Amino acid sequence: MVYTYPVGGRVDRPVERNRHAGRLDMSGRSRSARLAVLVAAVGLVTMVTTGVTADAAAGAPGQTDRAAAAARLNLLVPQPVLVRPSATAPYRITPATAVWVPAGSAEARAVGEQLAGLLRRSTGYPLPVWEKPAGSVAAIGPGIELRLAGLAGLGDEGYQLDAAPGGVVIRAAAPAGLFHGVQTLRQLLPPAAESDRRQPGPWLVPAGHVVDHPRYAYRGAMLDVARHFFGVADVEHYIDEISLYKINYLLHLSDDQGWRIAIDGWPRLASYGGGTEVGGGPGGYYTQGQFRQLVAYARAHFVTIVPEIDGPGHTNAALASYAELNCDGVAPPRYTGIDVGFSSLCVSKPVTYTFLRDVLDQLARLSPGPYLHIGGDEAHSTRAADYATFEGRELPIVADTGKAAMAWHDIAKVNPPTSTVLEFWGTTGSDQPTAAAAARGNRVVMAPANRAYLDQKYDPSTRLGLNWAGYIEERDAYDWDPGSYLGGVTGPSVLGVEAPLWSETLVTMANIEYLAFPRLPAIAELGWSPRATHDWNSFAERLGAQGPMWTVMGINFHASPQVPWAPGTRGGTD
């Protein structure tokens, strides 16, 4: 197996926290010295593929390790479209393993860098990232190869993963597919691979073939940073966690208790309206630079930020910041409770629409995704006629920005244009206005509150969360079908699913994790996996196998009594 590569081709610099002494650091070497190192590396790789060096260096993996590796192929969440185990030996990551990426795709390279960076921490191996020139052919490996290649019917997010004794190849039509394939690979490795400290291994990837693509294009994990503010680092951490389960959309940015994004021309929205939160804490907001940073971080994890600015209700923070937005010209005090439905923008005032245009224009420019979420829910303080007037003026403002509007399904009653995506948060299987909108052509994201709301308590003993939609244990979160839950909203009318995490009771990242895990992976599986794979017992077993990995990652999760957690699982507390 011979590879060619560009002499002087870029070589990854291991991240600082890598403590491995013998790494291949190519920086500062002459061209010929670099070539020599590369040739030596190929020699090593050749020996590894013939099975010599690795076992001699680190001791051959025992039967238990091999059996555990083989089992992992059947313990993936979300369940892939097709998994075919192979009888051959697993692939073993060794000190000679390289991550190969296609030349000429910065995005694909970044995915390779992420994988290498993650595995360097736990394996201590150098894991250089090398570019493979277009046109070079090889069946498999050596090492782990990310390959951009058209694959019929898998779309941009689909991928194919092949693991054999000589290496692992992940193929996808686009970098998003490579990223999702890498998330699958992470679950194929032992849980210790997720450690941020060097672990003994062995690092076995079970031999087999996986073909995968999502059932739905939209798989959201809305996080409410308004009721309690969460800074950039927390949101990035949540992006790390949700993207492991192939979630691809995020974010709720304003509500009664807080306005969380700086808007040019309306400085008090953030400086005053962002200055508190539920319970009266200090709150906070993102500068536009920080928001750009979040967008970029999300993008690198193939997550799209959908900014939500709720209106005409859920707007007390804006009304408190600017008196002119109120019909009576008087700014209310800021609000730190958890009631809903008491605030409304002033529908009859022109300044309301100047404000909305300024906000939505700026957010549209900051957000590369296709949607702006405009809320529209629980406008109990806005008369029905005013609500229709308001949405009738706001929807064209969104259209002017070049984005499609997304809104809670309450907006269905005003016949929004068919480009408007409705997000269903009801708790019953029928909603006439939403069904009628679907019949007209609107698409719907399913987030039924009694199934998908991550902020609802698991059971009466859960300290965090609310329970207005009921208690939601793991099986409740998993055992429903987004494709048939709501009458008249089936087939192509369903754009996807979302797992909203409202933050009235959430103060810390540990709080977020406790409510999101293990229910977020349930909703993620509903969004990704084919309906034909739906099976509670299978899901519960596969979910149970995530426990040791979450334990290694330090995720503070609810060890649901409904799930057979694998040995090595340590649940968290709320």
Active site residues: 378
Residue 58, Cβ neighbours under 10 Å: how many?
Answer: 15
- Tabulate helix, strand, coil % of the chain (nearest 5): 35, 15, 50
Closer to ligand TNX by Cβ: residue 146 or 340: 340
Q: Which of 131, 212, 377, 513 binds ligand TNX (CB under 6 A)?
A: 377
Closest approach of Cβ 374 to ligand TNX, in Å?
12
Closest approach of Cβ 425 to ligand TNX, in Å?
4
Of 205, 214, 134, nearest to 177 by C-alpha is 214
Q: Is 229 in the site for ligand TNX (CB under 6 A)?
A: no
CA angle 558–524–77, rounded 5-degree value: 75
| Those residues with Cβ within 8 angstroms of residue 275's Cβ, 6 or more apart along the chain or in another chain | 282, 283, 334
CA distance 570 to 559: 8
* Total of residues contacting ligand TNX (CB under 6 A): 11
In the structure encoding, which two tokens stand for residue 127, read together? 């894991």
Closest approach of Cβ 488 to ligand TNX, in Å?
20
Sign of the CA dihedral running 431, 433, 435, 441: negative
Closer to ligand TNX by Cβ: residue 161 or 449: 449
Closer to ligand TNX by Cβ: residue 44 or 464: 464
Task: Say if residues 282 and 257 touch (Cβ distance below 8 Å).
Answer: no
Binding mask 394-433 for ligand TNX (x = CB under 6 A): --------------x----------------x--------
Sign of the CA dihedral running 530, 535, 536, 540: negative
> Position 204: which residue type?
L
* Binding residues for ligand TNX restricted to 330-349, rule: CB under 6 A: 340
Q: Which stretch binds ligand TNX (CB under 6 A): 61-69, 113-121, 231-239, 449-457?
A: 449-457
In the structure encoding, which two tokens stand for residue 331, read together? 């700014």
Alpha-carbon Rg for the chain in angstroms: 25
* Binding residues for ligand TNX restricted to 463-522, rule: CB under 6 A: 466, 502, 504
Closer to ligand TNX by Cβ: residue 295 or 522: 522
CA distance 548 to 537: 19
Q: Which stretch binds ligand TNX (CB under 6 A): 1-9, 22-30, 106-114, 447-455?
A: 447-455
CA distance 495 to 255: 25
Closest approach of Cβ 367 to ligand TNX, in Å?
20
Closest approach of Cβ 316 to ligand TNX, in Å?
12
Closest approach of Cβ 358 to ligand TNX, in Å?
24
Task: Say if residues 469 and 456 touch (Cβ distance below 8 Å).
Answer: yes
Binding residues for ligand TNX, per CB under 6 A? 340, 377-378, 408, 425, 449, 453, 455, 466, 502, 504
